[in-house]
């Protein structure tokens, strides 16, 4: 049975209202549980076998005429997916999207938001399936693939819809403008205001977080009226193909052209992104990936507004701690989680070479590095837990980088391969931890994507702060962690965070980690340093995705 977009909106209205409240209060909130046990047992247990039925055959979507088939995904856990996808003709697709756009625009904000919320609800219900697709493309461990690929990604999508709704709701549909004219009759104009989309929106996804980093742009653009092309990374197509299928189903059920959300997969050999990005019809681009390509987009796709999440030198500064063991356990988890392949993983850890003060007295620099190495080592001593937390290395290039970086400093803890009980061919490697001097800036101030981190020996905390400022202003950072027991130093960290526009996590020594960011409360990246030019999500992320077109005509006073 088909349902109207209005019914969808009405059904999800309460969720939307709660989300509006959440982005204002910024307390913890989510409609999508991260606890797998809250999902039907059958859905969870049957996911691996449902995943297997997708392998080694075409995955079809509603699309305009396709020109070729692409595929070639390889699970980082060590097997070919063997799935093929249609690659639609991009010119025909863009023409079809432009034709479909006015009806989507004229449907209004409630209808569009209703469709988006229904898509998200259905994606939530299939989180176990999405998790399989995310795990076997990104290499994430099962728990992370479920949480970050499923509910947390849906949170970020809902957050984007919420900001879009709030921005659109600020524009009244009509107004009566009555200008007094002294003794004469007033001038009266009846005005109408329309939300008008920018044009075709291109969302360029990455291989490590194919849904989490993609849903914000997808839903922000779609809710504000723009057709969306999903351009997956050639190594992680399936999660977005599944997403596009859900979106197309919901759009069609609500009476809209399903091409409004379309997948354009490509291959490493014949990439499509530059062609799509430079198309004059493409007015919005969301990108997650390398600095080089993000900067290329900003400099070349000047017909479009580009929202780019790139990379930076994520930083931790240790000044002093209460409990070094708690701190190093926290950092050990941060550095191990998904083998450092998060855009939020710390790379440079600044520690004074004279050591630090703790509640148990002064500890030397070597004490600190030894404690950190030991904490990682111990945390990963159980191989099953290690494999679950580390996940697999997404690309051979990242695997190779571990070797390439071994010579960049003194090895505090060497990276070692691990064997997965279920997937013996999985690319699994523990973190490499290096010691460098502050002067070895070339080593630690280039992004070394993967499980590679540096403990940087500095003169003192002032020096650490100065180095961090210099490096982040030049290279950017998505996260900044810092540890101190001194309120004055804490205030210096707060100032540093503002000066370099990086969010500060202070004294994380428990169950929250610098590389985690919660929708509705944490702004992921700020957009204010070279690591990203946009934040997930804030008003700026949605406000320029639509324009307001008004009309006015003479009217009568009320």
- Give CA–CA dist 116/219, Å, rounded: 7
- CA 298 centroid distance within chain: 19
Interacting span for a copy of itself (CB under 8 A) from 233-241, 253-261, 267-275, 297-305: 297-305
Would you state the structure tokens that stand for residue 406, as one six-digit string? 């071994």
Helix, strand, or coil here: 65?
coil
- Give CA–CA dist 111/5, Å, rounded: 5
495 scored as a contact of a copy of itself (CB under 8 A): yes
User: Contacting a copy of itself (CB under 8 A), which of 56, 67, 170, 425?
Assistant: 170
Site string for a copy of itself, 103-122 (x = CB under 8 A): --xx----------------
553 scored as a contact of a copy of itself (CB under 8 A): yes
499 scored as a contact of a copy of itself (CB under 8 A): yes
Would you state the structure tokens that stand for residue 304, as one six-digit string? 């479009």
Q: Which of 449, 522, 497 is nearest to 207 (CA)?
A: 449
Interacting span for a copy of itself (CB under 8 A) from 249-257, 425-433, 459-467, 534-542: 534-542
- Give CA–CA dist 286/271, Å, rounded: 17
- Give CA–CA dist 236/321, Å, rounded: 40
Q: Min. distance of Cβ 26 from a copy of itself in angstroms? A: 4
- Give CA–CA dist 378/313, Å, rounded: 26
Q: Which of 183, 206, 171 is nearest to 287 (CA)?
A: 206
549 scored as a contact of a copy of itself (CB under 8 A): yes
Residues 6+ positions from 274 with CB-CB distance below 8 Å: none
CB 47 within 8 A of CB 165: no
454 vs 493 by CB, closer to a copy of itself: 493
Which region, left, alpha or beta, applies to residue 168 given φ > 0 means left and ψ of -120 to 50 means alpha?
alpha
102 scored as a contact of a copy of itself (CB under 8 A): yes
539 scored as a contact of a copy of itself (CB under 8 A): yes
20 scored as a contact of a copy of itself (CB under 8 A): no
405 scored as a contact of a copy of itself (CB under 8 A): no
- Give CA–CA dist 366/360, Å, rounded: 16
- Give CA–CA dist 390/392, Å, rounded: 6
Interacting span for a copy of itself (CB under 8 A) from 231-239, 240-248, 391-399, 548-556: 548-556
193 scored as a contact of a copy of itself (CB under 8 A): yes
CB 543 within 8 A of CB 527: no
Q: Min. distance of Cβ 456 from a copy of itself in angstroms? A: 22
Extract the runs of DSSP E, i.e. beta strands, from 303-347.
305-309, 315-318
Q: Min. distance of Cβ 196 from a copy of itself in angstroms? A: 5
Site string for a copy of itself, 475-494 (x = CB under 8 A): ------------------xx
Cis peptide before 537 (omega within 30 of 0): yes
Interacting span for a copy of itself (CB under 8 A) from 26-34, 41-49, 144-152, 247-255: 26-34
User: Contacting a copy of itself (CB under 8 A), which of 55, 95, 175, 438?
Assistant: 175
502 scored as a contact of a copy of itself (CB under 8 A): yes
Q: Min. distance of Cβ 558 from a copy of itself in angstroms? A: 11
358 vs 373 by CB, closer to a copy of itself: 358
HEC assignment per residue over 497-510: HHHHCCCEEECCCC
List the interface residues with a copy of itself, window 200-259 (CB under 8 A): none
User: Contacting a copy of itself (CB under 8 A), which of 455, 497, 519, 531?
Assistant: 497
Binding site for a copy of itself (CB under 8 A): 24-28, 102, 105-106, 167, 170, 172, 175-181, 187, 189, 191-194, 196, 198, 298-299, 302, 493-495, 497-499, 501-512, 518, 521-523, 526-528, 535, 538-540, 543-544, 547-554
């Amino acid at each position: 049975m088909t349902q109207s977009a209005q019914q969808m909106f009405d059904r999800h209205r309460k969720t939307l209202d709660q989300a509006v409240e959440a982005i204002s209060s910024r307390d913890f909130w989510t409609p999508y549980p991260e606890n797998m046990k809250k999902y039907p047992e059958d859905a969870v247990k049957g996911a691996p076998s449902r995943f297997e039925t997708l392998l080694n055959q075409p995955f079809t979507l509603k699309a305009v005429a396709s020109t070729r088939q692409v595929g070639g995904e390889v699970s980082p856990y060590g097997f070919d997916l063997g799935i093929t996808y249609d690659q639609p003709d991009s010119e025909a697709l863009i023409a079809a999207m432009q034709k479909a756009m006015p009806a989507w625009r004229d449907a209004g904000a409630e209808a569009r938001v209703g469709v988006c919320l229904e898509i998200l609800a259905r994606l939530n219900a299939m989180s176990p399936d999405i998790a399989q697709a995310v795990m076997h493309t990104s290499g994430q461990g099962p728990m992370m693939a479920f949480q970050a690929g499923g509910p947390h990604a849906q949170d970020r999508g809902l957050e984007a819809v919420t900001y879009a709704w709030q921005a659109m709701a600020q524009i009244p549909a009509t107004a009566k403008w009555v200008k007094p004219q002294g003794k004469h009759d007033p001038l009266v104009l009846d005005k109408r205001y329309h939300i008008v989309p920018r044009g075709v929106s291109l969302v360029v996804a990455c291989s490590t977080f194919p849904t989490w980093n993609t849903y914000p742009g997808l839903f922000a653009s779609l809710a504000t009226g723009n057709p969306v092309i999903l351009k997956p990374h050639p190594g992680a197509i399936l999660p977005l193909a599944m997403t596009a299928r859900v979106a197309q189903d919901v759009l069609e059920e609500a009476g809209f052209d399903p091409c409004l959300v379309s997948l354009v997969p490509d291959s490493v050999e014949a990439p499509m992104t530059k062609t799509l990005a430079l198309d004059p019809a493409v007015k919005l681009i969301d990108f997650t990936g390398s600095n080089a390509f993000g900067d290329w987009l900003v400099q070349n796709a000047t017909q479009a507004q580009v929202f780019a999440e790139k990379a930076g030198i994520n930083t931790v500064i240790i000044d002093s701690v209460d409990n070094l063991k708690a701190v190093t356990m926290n950092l050990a988890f941060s550095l191990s989680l998904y083998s450092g392949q998060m855009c939020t993983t710390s790379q440079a850890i600044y520690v004074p070479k004279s050591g630090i003060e703790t509640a148990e007295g002064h500890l030397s620099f070597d004490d600190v590095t030894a404690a950190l190495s030991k904490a990682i080592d111990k945390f990963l001593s159980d191989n099953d837990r290690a494999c679950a937390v580390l996940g697999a290395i997404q690309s051979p290039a990242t695997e190779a980088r571990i070797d390439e970086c071994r010579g960049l400093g003194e090895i505090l803890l060497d990276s070692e391969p691990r064997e997965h009980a279920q997937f013996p061919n999985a690319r699994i490697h523990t973190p490499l931890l290096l010691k460098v001097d502050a002067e070895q800036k070339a080593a630690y101030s280039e992004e070394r994507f993967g499980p590679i981190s540096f403990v940087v020996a500095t003169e003192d905390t002032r020096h650490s702060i100065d180095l961090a400022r210099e490096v982040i202003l030049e290279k950017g950072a998505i996260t900044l962690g810092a540890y101190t027991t001194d309120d004055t130093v804490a205030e210096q960290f707060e100032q540093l965070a503002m000066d370099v526009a990086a969010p500060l996590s202070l004294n994380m020594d428990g169950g929250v980690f610098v590389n985690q960011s919660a929708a509705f409360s944490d702004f992921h990246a700020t957009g204010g340093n070279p690591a990203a030019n946009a934040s997930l999500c804030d008003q700026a992320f949605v406000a320029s995705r639509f324009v307001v077109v008004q009309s006015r005509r003479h009217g009568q006073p009320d």
